[in-house]
Amino acid sequence: MHFSIAGTAILLAGCISAAWAQPYPAKSIRIIVPYPAGGGTDLAARLISQKLTETLGHTVIIDNRPGANGNLGTELMAKAAADGYTLGMATPGPVTAAKNLYPNLPYDPERDLAPVILVNASPNVLAVHPSVPARSVNELIALAKARPLHIGASTVASVQHLLAEMFNHASGVRMEVITYKGGAQAATDAVGGQIEALWSVLPVVLPFMPNGRLRILAVASEKRSGLLAGVPTMGEAGWPAVIATAWNGVVAPAATPRNIIDVLNTEIARSLRAPDVRERFAASGLEAIGGTPDEFGAFLRTETAKWARVIKVANIKVE
């Protein structure tokens, strides 16, 4: 058989085009979780990965990369290949607050990350150890003015850390803020009485409520939680400025092609509509969200601007 040079070139070009035209995905996908296994972000990632594995026909692997208050794993996802095979879980601290807290942050969330979808949201709650003689937010403030108190939060620059600083600034008290490696560790110390108070996402403290090991004073959201019908919001308690919601989203490296972003958005949105996923979220006090990549991008810009103002006004510093 005889092939001309031109014919061979056309054949090779056709093979290359076919390779590039392979439907996405063609292999397994990795989702980086910038926190240890077992937390709320990890739970959301694993629920999504299970559904995506079913619908995409390729395994979706969870890669827990904790460290540097979520910044380590976020940097890894920001600097990964932009081919749709490395994604990351986004949370408020490393994606919307860190830029205004760390002068030498090794990534720029707005420049280096592409929004895919907002996965869920969870109210934050103010809880105390049962030995604390405060049954309301204002009683806790009065107690803090009378004697030193310690208030716990998850990681540095987390929503819970920023809420603790917001609360101190708004109320005029100076409770010592103790940060941990994660929300579960903070709750453990609160249950054990090592700290008197705690800012936490609702799923972390729910297991300690039935037997009275923690008492929730208020919810830092616009409306009451369906799981805590008798607990007032911070606004109802007289502190409407102390409001912030915890959330999880999915992001990709910034140069990831839009058609791949759209595939991921469509499939993750489908998983969030699944009854079993919504039930798992609801049982933990989480609300499935969804939406488009552009809507998530607008949300991230709003959150970044909000935390920049809070950090400046409250003069929040990190080591």
Q: What is the pLDDT of residue 3?
A: 45
Residues 152 and 212 in one domain: yes
What lies within 8 Å, CB to CB, of 49 at 6+ separation is 31, 60, 61, 62
Tell how far CA 265 is from the center of its chain: 17
Inform me whether the pLDDT recorded for 6 exceeds 70. no
Residues 111 and 128 in one domain: no
Inform me whether the pLDDT recorded for 50 exceeds 70. yes
**Alpha carbon distance 63, 292 (integer Å):** 25
Residues 45 and 32 in one domain: yes
Query: How many CB atoms are closer than 10 A to CB 247?
Result: 27
Inform me whether the pLDDT recorded for 197 exceeds 90. yes
- Let me know if residue 89 belongs to a domain: yes
Q: Calculate what percentage of the chain has a pLDDT beyond 90.
A: 76
Residues 50 and 188 in one domain: no
Inform me whether the pLDDT recorded for 2 exceeds 80. no
Residues 101 and 116 in one domain: yes
- Let me know if residue 66 belongs to a domain: yes
Could you report how far apart the first and last alpha carbons of the chain are, in Å?
72
Q: What is the pLDDT of residue 313?
A: 86
Q: Calculate what percentage of the chain has a pLDDT beyond 70.
A: 93
Q: What is the pLDDT of residue 5?
A: 54
Which domain range does residue 162 map to? 123-219
**Alpha carbon distance 86, 176 (integer Å):** 39
Residues 211 and 257 in one domain: no
Average pLDDT over residues 253-278: 97
Residues 55 and 189 in one domain: no
Residues 52 and 191 in one domain: no
Q: For residue 115, say if its preceding peptide bond is cis, omega within 30 degrees of 0.
A: no
Inform me whether the pLDDT recorded for 12 exceeds 90. no
Domain count for the chain, please give it.
2
- What confidence tens digit (pLDDT) does each residue in 53-104 have? 999 999 999 999 999 989 999 999 999 999 999 999 999 999 999 999 998 9
Inform me whether the pLDDT recorded for 4 exceeds 60. no
CATH number at residue 278: 3.40.190.150
**Alpha carbon distance 65, 91 (integer Å):** 14
- What confidence tens digit (pLDDT) does each residue in 284-313 have? 888 999 999 999 999 999 999 999 998 998
Name the domain boundary from 184, 202, 219.
219
CATH number at residue 186: 3.40.190.10
Q: What is the pLDDT of residue 230?
A: 92
Inform me whether the pLDDT recorded for 148 exceeds 90. yes
**Alpha carbon distance 43, 183 (integer Å):** 13
Contact 155, 181 (CB under 8 A): yes
Helical H segments across the chain, by residue range = 5-20, 40-56, 71-78, 92, 109-112, 137-146, 159-171, 183-191, 202-205, 258-273, 275-283, 293-313
- Let me know if residue 255 belongs to a domain: yes
- Let me know if residue 43 belongs to a domain: yes
- Let me know if residue 205 belongs to a domain: yes
Q: Is 125 helix (H, G, I), strand (E, B) or coil?
A: strand
Q: What is the pLDDT of residue 18?
A: 42
Residues 87 and 148 in one domain: no
Average pLDDT over residues 107-115: 97
- Let me know if residue 115 belongs to a domain: yes
Longest dimension (CA), the chain: 95
Residues 45 and 115 in one domain: yes
Q: Are strands 150-153 and 197-201 parallel, antiparallel or unpaired?
A: parallel
What lies within 8 Å, CB to CB, of 217 at 6+ separation is 125, 126, 127, 128, 134, 135, 136, 137, 140, 231, 237
Q: What is the pLDDT of residue 168?
A: 94
Contact 39, 158 (CB under 8 A): no
Q: What is the pLDDT of residue 17?
A: 45
- Let me know if residue 11 belongs to a domain: no
Query: How many CB atoms are closer than 10 A to CB 312?
Result: 10
Residues 63 and 96 in one domain: yes
Q: Which residue has the tokens 């915890």?
A: 246
Contact 250, 84 (CB under 8 A): no
Residues 131 and 209 in one domain: yes
What lies within 8 Å, CB to CB, of 105 at 6+ separation is 71, 98, 99
Phi, psi of 228, rounded to the nearest 5 degrees: -135, 55
**Alpha carbon distance 308, 103 (integer Å):** 13
Of the pLDDT bands very low, low, confident and very high (cuts 50, 70, 90), residue 38 is confident
- Let me know if residue 262 belongs to a domain: yes
Closest CA to 282 of 219, 202, 211, 221: 202
